Structure 1
Amino acid sequence: MITAEALVKRYGTKVAVDSIDFSVRPGQVTGFLGPNGAGKSTTMRMIVGLDRPTAGRVEVNGRPYREHRAPLREVGVLLDAKAAHAGRSAYKHLLSIAATHGIGAKRVREVIGLAGLDSVAGKRVGGFSLGMGQRLGIATALLGDPATIILDEPVNGLDPEGVRWVRTLMRSLAAEGRTVLLSSHLMSEMAQTADRLIVIGRGRILADDAIGDVISGATRSTTRVRTRETERLMATIAAPGVVVSLLADGAIEITGLTAEQVAVAASAAGIVLHEVASVSGSLEEAYIALTAGEVEYRSSNIVQEGAVR
C-alpha cells in the first residue's frame, strides 16, 4: 500500500507537488494521470526515495521507502526503461541487480520468461528496441516478487500484443492482492486496465475515485434515439431540464432523460423508436474536462492557411 499525507515538493520558488493526500490500495490497479508538468513523475520519485519531500510524508507498505532493508522485495519500480547498462546482456543486468538482494538465478530466469525475453536474454541491452527495454524494465520491477508495483508509461514502444500483455499482467498482479500504481497517457488502455484513478494537475489532486465515478462526475450521459417521428417525440418529452439535439446522421441526442424514460414516454404516445441507447462519457472526455485549466503547455487550435506544407 502507498499512502501520502500533505506531500509537498518545491524546487526553489516552483511548487511541483502542492500538499497532496492519497492512498493506493492493494488488490486493484490505480491509474495515475495528469498533463505534462503536473507533478506525476516528481510524486513517483518521492514514493521511491529518489526525491526528498519538502514537507509531508509518503510511505510504502507502512514505512518510507528508504527505511526498507530489502526495498526490491517491497517495491518494484519502472521509471526509466533506459536505466540498464547498455553493455550488459539482459540476463547479466538482471543477475547483477538480483545479487544485491540475494535473489538467485532461478528467479532471474523466471522474470525473463515472464517478460518474453528468452530469445534475447543473452543480447546486449544497448541494442534493444524501446519495447524490449520496457519488457526488461518490467522484469526488473518484478524481480523481488514485490507487494507493490509502480510503473511509469510501461506500454511505450510496445506492439499491440505487448500492450495486451502489460494489461493482463497488471490485472493479474492486482488480483493476487498486490498494490499496482500505473501511469500512462493512453486513455483507452487506462480505461481497460485501471480500477481507480488519481488525476493530478499543477501539483494538486483533481480526482481520486473509482474510474466509473471519475468519468460520470466529469462528463454527462446522453440518450441516443432514432425515430421517424422526430417532431412528435420532441414535443412528447419536452420539459424543463431536457435538452434535445438533432445529430448529423439523423439521430436525436437527449440530455436530462434516461433511455428508459424516453422509451416509456414514446410508448405512451404510440411513437415507434428504431433505436434508443444510453451513451456514457469516455475517460478521455473526463480527463480533458478535469485538466482543462491545468495544462502547462497548450497548442493553438487554429492553423493558418499555408502554415503547414
Structure 2
Amino acid sequence: MIQAAGLTKRYGEKTAVDDVSFTVRPGVVTGFLGPNGAGKSTTMRMIVGLDRPTAGTVTVNGAPYARHRAPLGEVGSLLDARAVHPGRSARDHLLAQARTHGLGRRRVEEVIESTGLGPVARRRAGTFSLGMGQRLGIASALLGDPRTLILDEPVNGLDPEGVLWVRTLLRGLAAEGRTVLLSSHLMSEMALTADHLVVLGRGRVIADAPLAEIVARAQTATVRVRTPMTAELERELRRRPGVGVTSVERDVLDVTGCTAPEVVAAAATVGVAVHELAPVRTSLEDAYLRLTADAVEYRSTPVPGAPAPGRASLGGSR
C-alpha cells in the first residue's frame, strides 16, 4: 500500500506538488494521470526516496521507502528505462541488482525469461531498442518479487504483443493482492488496465475515484445522427426547447437534450432521411480531457481543419 499525506515539493518559488494526499490500495491497478507538469513524476520520485518532500509524508507498506531493509522486495519501480549503464549486458545489470539483496542467479534467469529478454540477455543495454529497454526496466522492477509496483509509461515503445503482456501482467499482480501504481498518457490502454484513478492537475489532486465513476460523471446524453440533410434537421431540432446541436463533420450532428426516438420524429416531420443513429458513449479520454481542461500548463495550438479532441466519426471507437 502507498499512502501520501499532505505531500508537497517546492523548487525555489515553483511548487511542483501541492498538499497531495491519496492511498494506493492492494488488489487494484491504480492509474496515475495528469497533464505534463502536473507533478506525477515528482510524486513518484518522492515515493521511492529520490526526492525529499518539502512537507508531508509518503509511506510504502507502512514505512518510508528508505527505511525498508530490503527495498526491492517491497517496491519495484520503473521511472526511467534509460537508467542503465549502456556498456553492461541485461543479465549483468540484473545480477548486480540481485547481489544487493542476496538474490540468486535463478531469480535473475526467471525474470529474464518472463520478460522476453532471453535472446538479448548477453547484449549491451546501450544497443537496446526503446521496447527492449522497457522490458529490461520491467525486469528490474520485478526482480525482488515486490509487494508494490510503480511503473511510469511501461508500454512506451512496446509492440502490440508487449502491450498486451504488460496489461495482463499488471492485472495478474493486482489479482494476487499486490499494489500497482501505473502512470501513462495512453488513455485507451489505461481504460483497459486500471480500476481506480488518481488525477493530478497543477500539482494538486483533482480526482481520486474508480475509473468507471470518473467516466460516468462525464457522460452526457448525446445522440449522434448521420444524414445528408443536416441543415434541415438542425433547423427543426433547434425549434425545440432545450435541444443543442453540434456539427461534428460533414453529414454528422451531435444532439443533446433530445432522445433518439425524438430525433427520428423530428426528422420525419420535415422529411429528412436518417442514415445512422447511435448514442455517444464517453470514453476515458473524453472524461480526462474535460477533467483536466483547466489544469493544462503546456497547451498546443489546434491545427486548422483538424477535429476537436475527443471527436470521432459515427463508426469510430469511443
Q: TM-score with structure 2 length normalisation?
A: 0.84
The residue aligned with 1:167 is 167
CA contact (8 A) 2:237 2:243 kept: no
Residue ranges of structure 2 left out of the alignment (5+ in a row):
305-318
The alpha carbon displacement at 1:140 in A equals 0.5
Query: Aligned AA for 2:260?
Result: V
Give, in whole Å, the separation in 1 of the partners of 2:62 and 2:40.
21
C-alpha separation in 1, matches of 2:233 and 2:88: 73
Bigger shift: residues 64-73 or 243-252: 243-252
Residues 232, 283 of structure 1: alpha-carbon distance in 2 compared, 3 angstrom cutoff: closer
Aligned to 2:133: 133
Q: Helix, strand or coil: the match of 1:241?
A: coil
Instruction: Measure, in 1, the Cα distance between the counterparts of 2:168 and 2:201.
Output: 28
Match of 1:57 in 2: 57
**Whole-angstrom distance in 1 between the partners of 2:237 and 2:243:** 11
1:220 to 2:246 alignment: no
Distance in 2 between the 1:13 and 1:226 partners? Answer: 52
Q: CA deviation at 1:253?
A: 2.8
1:68 deviation in Å? Answer: 1.1
Aligned length: 300
Q: CA deviation at 1:133?
A: 0.9
Q: CA deviation at 1:180?
A: 0.8
Cα pair 2:228 2:251 within 8 Å, conserved: no
Map of 1:279 onto structure 2: 280
Matches of 2:222 and 2:250, distance apart in 1: 16
Contact 1:115/1:136 (8 A) holds in 2: yes
Residues 92-124 of structure 1: CA deviation (Å, up to 9, x unaligned)? 111111111111111111110111000011111
Distance 1:197 1:174, change over 3 A: same
Q: Compared with structure 1, are the counterparts of its residues 233 and 57 closer, same or farther at alpha carbon in structure 2 (3 Å cutoff)?
A: same
Q: 1:263, CA displacement in angstroms?
A: 3.8
CA gap of 1:232–1:40, structure 2 versus 1, over 3 A, is closer
Residues 238, 244 of structure 2: 8 Å contact kept: no
**Structure 1 CA distance, aligned partners of 2:165 and 2:114?**
10
Whether the aligned pair in 1 keeps the contact of 2:195 and 2:211 (CA below 8 Å) is yes
**Which residue does 1:39 correspond to in 2?**
39
Which one-letter code corresponds to 1:255 in the other structure? Answer: T
Superposed CA deviations along residues 19-68 of structure 1, whole A, max 9, x for unmatched, are 01111111111111112211111000011111111111111111111111
Whole-Å Cα distance in 2 between the matches of residues 85 and 35 of structure 1? 30
Return the alpha-carbon distance in structure 2 between the equivalents of residues 41 and 241 of structure 1.
44
- 3-state SS of paired residue (2:85): coil
Q: Is 1:66 equivalent to 2:66 in the alignment?
A: yes
Aligned letter for 2:123? K
Counterpart AA for 1:70: A
State the distance in 2 between where 1:301 and 1:279 align. Answer: 23
Partner residue, 2:244: 243
| Cα gap change, 1:12 to 1:228, in 2 (>3 Å) | closer
Structure-2 change in CA distance of 1:248 and 1:51 (3 Å): closer
Q: 2:260 aligns with which of 262, 282, 299?
A: 262
Is contact 1:263–1:276 with CA below 8 Å preserved after alignment? no
Asked if residue 299 in structure 1 is aligned to residue 297 in structure 2, the reply is no
* TM-score of the superposed pair, with normalisation by structure 1: 0.86
The residue identity in structure 2 corresponding to 1:254 is: V
SS of equivalent residue, structure 1 residue 77 = strand
Q: How far 1:154 moved relative to its partner? A: 1.0
Moved more, 112-121 or 287-296: 287-296
Q: CA deviation at 1:229?
A: 11
Cα distance change on mapping 1:275 and 1:299 into 2, 3 Å: closer
Given that 2:245 and 2:255 are in contact with CA atoms closer than 8 Å, whether structure 1 keeps it comes out as: yes
CA RMSD of aligned residues (A): 2.8
Give 1:12 deviation, angstroms: 1.4
Please state whether the residue corresponding to 1:167 is helix, strand or coil.
helix
For residue 244 of structure 2, what is the amino acid of its counterpart?
V
Distance 2:286 2:88 in 1: 43
Q: Which residue of 2 aligns with 1:105?
A: 105
Does structure 2 conserve the Cα–Cα contact (< 8 Å) formed by 1:17 and 1:43? Answer: yes
Partner amino acid, structure 2, of 1:44? M
1:226/1:298 CA distance change after superposition, 3 Å: closer
